[in-house]
């Protein structure tokens, strides 16, 4: 559901433009180039702004078309001006390149002026360029493109030569040779100019006058450069790239009769280069491009008359008239029975070309395979029918149906070959080159490709193959008449639905959905096509969980798709390498079971039972989960129809379900890494069979299941941390279901002996020395049903309470404390509330205070270890449990909640809501507002309820983002004005304001300072706040978690003038008490952060009048000779700033001397030197010199 909501938003937020709205701004930018080019800053700003505007149109470049010519003319006017400085010319060409980059050179090229008068200036400008200048490559690129356009002028170039003897008497080069030399020069450079040089070659060499006199020589030069260069070196790679681009462009734009005489030679040279062995992807792609163009040169450019032609391609016509479609369906391929009008020989080189293209389909890079596929499609379209069929036959050899091996093809080639083959099939189908007679051979390949998934190490390959197979289906939908595909329509539609709903990758699901949509529209023969499209559209299939659990159920309701979907899940998904897919597949089978219960019971379940005890781990895991889910679904269906739970099961199936645990246990498959999958899977089986009310009461298998649950909880320490939580939750869920079904008698009671054994055993495990065992059995006790807790409640609560107590041995056992607190709430919810009841059976007056005391202790857990604030897990669980127990009491007997307890709960929640860790702050805030706004009935005794409801309106309960410091702190600081909450909120704020996280610090401090400003005019409120502040400090003295950030907060508050009102009174008790506490806090401390924070506080306290001022100076001068150099240096710096800030605390006559000593002394020097300078300061300010104390 989240995916459904997120995807449309992501699409709708795209920047869809209607027109080139910045045309006027661009015109001004270009017009101002003459003014801005001189200064580097203005020049770069103009370029950045132009790039920013143009980049907006990368996805919609056609919007620029109407303005391209105007922009080009304005820029060329600058370029052509002989008075333009070189820097301005380069800037003009840079702007031209930016436009070309967005719109593409092909669209831009025809707009270049190509008059005779432009030839010589462009050649002259190119002559002035330095090919190695890295700053002006855009100029060279654009000049070469411009020259390629000028080359098309219909005049013999010899006319431009005139007298080839220059004024100095030296011979000038003919224009033709100048252009050719320029092209050769830039074909071997490494920048973008090389691409433009290839374009120049393709336009220039094909001129009639150049072709006759220079084409052969140029090709000789290119081939010799190819032969001499090695693609293994960087320089050789650059040269080979340029030569291949030039040849590819030349054979693309040149006339066939001009290029044909050289094609065989070029192909031979290309074979010798062995580009297929190169590790350069671009070279292999260019080689493939050149090979296909050589192939197209060898065969005549004629459209094959034998190709399949669908005729009417209008969607409207398809949808409107079935009668017309019937007539279309009778149309045969024009030349299917007739011979070609003209016979001609196919050159032998074509076989070599096709072979290279087929090899290219298996290349390791997608762009090479894609180029090869297009080449196969283009060349096949020019071949006679028989040869084309041979090509298709060879193409089909790319695919292998052997599930264990792929003939002599290695695994690495296999998925590449399948992908390339699919692309080629789509190209052939799209062009009508796959005749209907071949559809029967292609469809099985296509269906196999739609589910292609090869395990490769820790993951799999094949998503690109499945995506390409969807492209084949899409192409076939557009290519063929509905009658041609009708024999295969059920197979194709089922395969596409399965891919759209069950594929692991979102891009494959969307591709399949698009192909399905195309088939529904073009073919009109897919069963229930419109209904399925509505449910499984592009956005709906974006969420995998939604696909498996919701969309699949809807589509399975259509009988044509039910069995294929079930078979796919059983054959392909329950043994998938990804455990998430296996689990989703089994849940999907559960949901689909009501659509085909007989098939599930008689075919699927008997097939799964042997797999559930098989040798393959993944298959075994998926099969056990599938057996559990299908069994549960069948039993629910039987109960809904008032039938026996065993209605759908044979004796063999029931026995097979019982034997799964025994078989796994006897083969020791619960051990090792495989056991991490088997244990939760069989626990899920136990849970589902218990929920299904299977007739196994009294069967020995129950003891086996109980042993597995206990053993799994007892050995959590031995499994990996990733699997631990899942095993624990599965075992606890299985225990609850097992007890509810098989341990209760007809009177609704438990067997006393069994109850005593189970509860006593579980409670005793709570004191185990292994933390994970405590965790497991705590959660197990929380899952026990009411009849097993009856008479044993106090024993269970006492056991869980002992787990929550922090002792020196188990101080880091935060997870066990967390699970015990969760279990206490679960137990309370299970037994219920009865005020006058027994404490052995209910939550009542006798035990409610004990329960609350245990839960409130959890909120104070701030344990930290190498994992960080692990106490946060305990606090989070305690807050949740407090909420659950409180709401339970409120809904049953609210009078059991005492005012003092409620006040403690709300105050602790308020403190957590003001703390620094976003996750825990958000949880606390959510619980706080839940209790505040709960009204069925309201929670009693909440202090200051009306004020709280004003600060936190009910409508903001869901919208207030507690994770965002900018939203949370302005609200929570308002609670400082409520006496009941002031202490706890201030305690929480101290950690946030004095913390290290910038956003938390900024917003919490700002909110605190805003509150302090409000109470400046209220002396009583300020006095109360200061008393609370000192109380917080006093209570947390030497508690570094609070005291260090508290000192930082005090430093900020003093610096921001929060206590300015007290500076007018001499010896005010607040600063005196604060000084005493600070002095006590840092006594004998070696914590640098604490000491540095205290320096700021001492400096801030200097502003208060009275006897304390001398004591503050004395303390600061003590720190000036601290053993740590960093403390001495920091103290000197802050005292210097203090004297600047509070100039009135020292007589003006001695301030400058004191500041000179502070600034000129090297406070990181040896202590005797520093002490002497410090004593000078003492004498200067008349402060007693600190004396060394003998140790």
pLDDT in tens, 299-338: 988 888 888 886 555 555 555 544 444 444 444 444 344 4
Average pLDDT, the chain: 90
What per-residue confidence (pLDDT) applies to 162? 64
CATH code, residues 1015-1181: 1.25.10
pLDDT tens per residue across span 469-484 = 999 999 999 999 999 9
In this structure, the number of other CB atoms found within 10 A of the CB of residue 664 comes to 22
Buried b (16+ CB within 10 A) or exposed e, 1085-1113: eeeeebbbbbbbbbbbbbbbbeebbebbb
User: Widest CA span of the chain, in angstroms?
Assistant: 124
- Other CB atoms within a 10 A radius of the CB of residue 954 amount to 11
Backbone angles phi, psi at 96, to 5 degrees: -60, -40
CA distances for 833 relative to 349, 857, 890, 1034, angstroms: 91, 22, 10, 40
* Residue 164: predicted pLDDT: 54
Q: 955-978: buried (b, 16+ CB within 10 Å) or exposed (e) per residue?
A: eeeeebebeebebbbbbbbbbbbb
Q: Are 605 and 630 in contact (CB under 8 A)?
A: yes
pLDDT band at 691 (very low <50, low <70, confident <90, very high): very high
Strands (E) in 443-584, as ranges, are 454-456, 459-461
- pLDDT of res. 784: 96
CA 94 to centroid of chain Cα atoms: 36
Output the pLDDT for position 401: 55
The pLDDT value given to residue 153: 86
Across 885-917, b (16+ Cβ under 10 Å) vs e yields bbbbbbeebeebbeeebbbbbbbbbbbbbbbbb
Contact 585, 622 (CB under 8 A): yes
DSSP structural state of residue 484? H
500 CB burial (10 A radius; 0-12, 13-18, 19+): buried
Average pLDDT over residues 1045-1073: 92
Cα-to-chain-centroid distance, residue 1085: 45
The pLDDT, as a whole number, for residue 1106 is 85
With a CB cutoff of 8 Å and minimum separation 6, the contacts of 949 are 932, 933
Give residue 583's pLDDT. 96
1005 phi and psi, to 5 degrees? -65, -45
Instruction: Give me the helix-helix angle, 86-103 and 137-150, nearest 10°.
Output: 70
Provide the residue ranges of all domains of the chain, joining segments of one domain with +. Answer: 172-297, 348-401+409-618, 1015-1181
Residue 283 confidence (pLDDT) above 50: yes
Cis check for the bond before 937: say yes or no (omega within 30 of 0): yes
What does the alpha-carbon distance between residue 1143 and residue 877 come to, in Å, rounded to a whole number? 53
Percent of the chain residues topping a pLDDT of 90 = 75
Closest CA to 155 of 182, 120, 181, 116: 116
Summarised one tens digit per residue, pLDDT across range 340-364 is 544 567 888 899 999 999 999 999 9
Count other Cβ atoms within 10 Å, centred on residue 462: 22
Over range 74-99, report the average pLDDT: 92
Q: What share of the chain is helix, strand, coil (3-state, %, to 5)?
A: 70, 0, 25
DSSP 339: P
Once rounded to an integer, what is the mean pLDDT over residues 892-913?
Answer: 96
Q: Tokens 């998938």 appear where?
A: 576
**Could you tell me which residues come within 8 angstroms of residue 320 by beta carbon, excluding any fewer than 6 positions away?**
none
Give the whole-number percent of the chain exceeding pLDDT 70: 94
Contact (CB, 8 A) for 1148 and 1170:
no
For residues 1090-1095, average pLDDT = 94
CATH number of 348-401+409-618: 1.25.10
Does residue 1191 have a pLDDT over 70?
no
Mean pLDDT of 595-624: 95
Q: Taking Cα atoms as reference points, which of 516, 518, 435, 525 lies closest to residue 488?
A: 525
pLDDT of residue 161: 72
Look up residue 581 and give its two tokens.
């897919």
Q: How confident is the model over 715-719, as a mean pLDDT?
A: 91
Residue 176's nearest CA partner among 167, 184, 187 is: 184
| 98 — pLDDT class (breaks 50, 70, 90) | very high
pLDDT at 1050: 96
Residues contacting residue 226 through CB under 8 Å, at least 6 positions apart:
240, 243, 244, 269, 270, 273
pLDDT of residue 288: 95
Q: Which contacts qualify for 49-56: CB closer than 8 Å, 24 or more apart?
A: 50/26, 50/95, 50/98, 51/98, 53/22, 53/25, 53/26, 54/98, 54/99, 54/101, 54/102, 55/102, 56/15, 56/17
pLDDT for residue 313: 52
Q: What is the pTM of this model?
A: 0.85
Contact (Cβ atoms closer than 8 angstroms) between residue 776 and residue 714: yes
Contact 428/376 with Cβ under 8 angstroms? yes
């Amino acid at each position: 559901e989240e995916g459904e909501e997120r995807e449309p938003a992501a699409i709708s937020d795209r920047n869809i433009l209607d027109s080139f709205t910045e045309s006027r701004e661009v015109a001004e930018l270009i017009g101002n180039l003459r003014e801005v080019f001189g200064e580097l800053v203005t020049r770069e700003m103009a370029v950045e702004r132009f790039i920013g505007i143009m980049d907006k149109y990368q996805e919609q470049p056609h919007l620029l078309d109407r303005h391209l010519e105007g922009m080009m003319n304005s820029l060329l006017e600058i370029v052509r001006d002989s008075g333009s400085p070189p820097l301005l010319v380069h800037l003009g060409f840079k702007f031209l390149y930016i436009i070309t980059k967005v719109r593409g050179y092909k669209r831009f090229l025809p707009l270049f002026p190509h008059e005779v008068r432009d030839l010589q200036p462009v050649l002259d400008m190119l002559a002035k360029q330095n090919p190695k200048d890295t700053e002006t490559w855009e100029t060279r690129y654009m000049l070469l493109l411009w020259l390629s356009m000028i080359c098309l002028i219909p005049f013999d170039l010899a006319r431009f030569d005139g007298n080839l003897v220059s004024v100095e008497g030296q011979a000038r080069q003919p224009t033709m040779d100048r252009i050719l030399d320029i092209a050769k020069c830039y074909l071997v450079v490494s920048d973008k100019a090389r691409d433009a040089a290839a374009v120049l070659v393709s336009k220039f060499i094909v001129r009639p006058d150049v072709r006759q006199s220079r084409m052969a020589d140029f090709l000789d030069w290119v081939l010799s450069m190819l032969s001499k260069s090695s693609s293994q070196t960087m320089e050789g790679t650059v040269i080979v790239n340029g030569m291949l681009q030039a040849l590819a462009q030349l054979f693309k734009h040149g006339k066939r009769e001009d290029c044909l005489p050289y094609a065989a030679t070029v192909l031979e040279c290309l074979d010798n280069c062995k580009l297929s062995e190169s590790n350069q992807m671009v070279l292999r792609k260019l080689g493939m491009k050149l090979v296909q163009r050589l192939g197209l040169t060898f065969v005549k450019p004629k459209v094959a008359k034998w190709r399949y032609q669908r005729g009417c391609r209008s969607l409207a016509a398809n949808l409107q008239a079935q009668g017309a479609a019937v007539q279309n369906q009778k149309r045969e391929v024009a030349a299917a029975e007739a011979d070609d009008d003209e016979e001609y020989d196919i050159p032998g080189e074509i076989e070599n070309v096709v072979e290279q293209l087929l090899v290219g389909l298996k290349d390791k890079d997608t762009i090479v395979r894609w180029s090869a596929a297009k080449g196969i499609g283009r060349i096949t379209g020019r071949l006679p029918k028989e040869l084309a069929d041979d090509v298709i036959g060879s193409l089909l050899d790319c695919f292998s149906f052997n599930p264990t091996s792929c003939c002599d093809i290695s695994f690495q080639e296999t998925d590449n070959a399948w992908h390339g083959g699919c692309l080629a099939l789509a190209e052939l189908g799209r062009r009508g080159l796959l005749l209907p007679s071949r559809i029967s051979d292609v469809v099985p390949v296509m269906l196999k490709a739609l589910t292609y998934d090869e395990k490769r190490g820790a993951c799999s390959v094949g998503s690109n193959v499945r995506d390409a197979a969807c492209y084949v289906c899409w192409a076939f939908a557009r290519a063929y008449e509905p009658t041609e595909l009708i024999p295969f329509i059920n197979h194709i539609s089922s395969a596409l639905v399965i891919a759209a709903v069950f594929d692991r990758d979102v891009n494959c699901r969307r591709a399949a959905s698009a192909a399905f949509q195309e088939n529904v529209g073009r073919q009109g023969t897919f069963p229930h096509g419109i209904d399925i499209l509505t449910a499984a559209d592009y956005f709906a299939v974006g969420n995998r969980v939604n696909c498996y659990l919701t969309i699949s159920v809807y589509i399975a309701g259509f009988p044509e798709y039910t069995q294929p979907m079930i078979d796919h899940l059983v054959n392909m998904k329950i043994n998938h390498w990804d455990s998430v897919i296996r689990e989703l597949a089994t849940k999907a089978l559960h949901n689909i079971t009501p659509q085909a219960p007989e098939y599930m019971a008689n075919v699927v379940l008997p097939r799964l039972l042997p797999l559930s005890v098989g040798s393959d781990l993944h298959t075994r895991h998926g099969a056990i989960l599938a057996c559990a889910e299908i069994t549960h679904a069948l039993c629910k269906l039987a109960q809904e129809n008032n039938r026996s739970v065993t209605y759908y099961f044979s004796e063999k199936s029931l026995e097979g379900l019982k034997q799964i645990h025994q078989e796994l246990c006897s083969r020791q498959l619960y051990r090792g890494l495989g056991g991490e999958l088997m244990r939760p899977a069989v626990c899920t089986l136990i849970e589902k069979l218990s929920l299904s009310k299977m007739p196994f009461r009294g069967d020995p298998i129950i003891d086996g299941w109980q042993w597995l649950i206990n053993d799994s909880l007892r050995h959590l320490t031995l499994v990996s941390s990733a699997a631990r939580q899942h095993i624990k939750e599965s075992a606890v869920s299985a225990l609850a279901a097992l007890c509810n079904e098989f341990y209760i008698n007809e009177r609704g009671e438990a067997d006393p002996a069994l109850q005593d054994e189970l509860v006593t055993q579980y409670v005793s495990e709570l004191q185990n020395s292994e933390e994970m065992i405590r965790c497991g059995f705590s959660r197990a006790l929380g899952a026990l049903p009411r009849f097993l807790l009856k008479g044993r409640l106090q024993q269970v609560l006492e056991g869980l309470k002992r787990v929550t107590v922090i002792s020196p041995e188990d101080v880091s056992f935060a997870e066990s404390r967390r699970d015990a607190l969760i279990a206490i709430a679960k137990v309370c919810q299970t037994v219920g509330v009865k005020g006058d009841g027994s404490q052995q059976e209910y939550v009542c007056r006798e035990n409610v205070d004990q329960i609350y005391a245990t839960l409130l202790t959890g909120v104070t857990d701030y344990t930290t270890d190498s994992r960080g604030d692990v106490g946060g897990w305990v606090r989070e669980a305690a807050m949740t449990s407090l909420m659950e127990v409180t709401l339970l009491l409120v809904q049953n007997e609210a009078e059991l909640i005492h005012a003092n307890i409620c006040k403690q709960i709300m105050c602790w929640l308020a403190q957590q809501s003001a703390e620094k860790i976003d996750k825990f702050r958000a949880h606390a805030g959510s619980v706080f507002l839940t209790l505040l706004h709960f009204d069925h009935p309201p929670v009693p005794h909440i202090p200051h309820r009306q004020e709280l409801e004003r600060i936190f309106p009910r409508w903001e309960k869901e919208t207030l983002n507690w994770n965002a410091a900018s939203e949370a702190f302005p609200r929570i600081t308002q609670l400082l004005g409520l006496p009941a909450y002031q202490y706890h909120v201030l305690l929480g704020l101290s950690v946030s304001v004095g913390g290290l996280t910038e956003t938390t610090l900024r917003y919490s401090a700002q909110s605190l300072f805003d509150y302090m400003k409000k109470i400046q005019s209220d002396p009583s409120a300020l006095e109360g706040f200061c008393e609370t502040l000192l109380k917080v400090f006093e209570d947390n003295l030497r508690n570094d978690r609070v005291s260090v950030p508290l000192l930082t907060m005090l430093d900020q508050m003093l610096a921001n003038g929060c206590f300015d009102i007290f500076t007018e009174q001499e010896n005010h008790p607040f600063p005196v008490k604060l000084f005493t506490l600070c002095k006590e806090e840092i006594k004998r401390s070696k914590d640098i952060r604490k000491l540095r924070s205290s320096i700021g506080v001492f400096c801030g306290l200097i502003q208060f009048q009275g006897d304390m001022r001398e004591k503050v100076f004395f303390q600061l001068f003590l720190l000036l000779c601290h053993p740590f150099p960093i403390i001495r240096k920091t103290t000197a710096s802050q005292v210097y700033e203090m004297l600047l800030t509070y100039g009135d605390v020292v007589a003006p006559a001695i301030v400058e001397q004191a500041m000179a000593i502070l600034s000129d002394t090297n406070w990181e020097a040896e202590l005797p030197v520093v002490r002497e300078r410090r004593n000078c300061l003492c004498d200067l300010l008349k402060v007693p010199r600190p004396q060394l104390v003998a140790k």
